[in-house]
Homo-oligomer: A and B are copies of this chain.
């Protein structure tokens, strides 16, 4: 696979773009993380979501600790070429580090954020210290 497709992405000044992971079966938006060129390249090559951790400043193979790997079924790019959309199969049914299916578990109701989604697994069990 040549890498010219990677040049079509409008990387930001810090070399990143946001990447949305959407459940390929249900359509639920699971999370948003960041990718640099290497992360996107490896995601396409491996078929598993690999992001750039801005806090740890290194590549982050999603699920490497938790086992909650994301198998990538499709990769899309938006019209401005600065956002990636992944269709994924979420292993374990948990994308969020809080043990929930989706990171978007807070819903605005009557001027307050309400946590609408249950924790499916205790994070202490997911990330064994």
Contacts and interface: CB of A to CB of B under 8 A. Distances in A.
Contacts of A107: 74-76
B98 A29 contact: no
A22 to B, nearest CB: 6
A107 B72 CA distance: 13
How many monomers of this protein are in the complex? 2
| Interface range for A | 35 or more
A118 interface: no
Given A77-B104, A78-B104, A32 B20 contact: yes
A85 B29 contact: yes
Contacts of A83: 18, 32, 103-104
B27 A20 contact: no
Contact of A20 (B2, B20, B97): B20
Contacts of A8: 113
A114 to B, nearest CB: 10
Nearest to A78: B103
Nearest to A111: B1
A59 interface: no
Interface in A78-123: 78-81, 83, 85, 96-98, 100, 103-108, 110-113
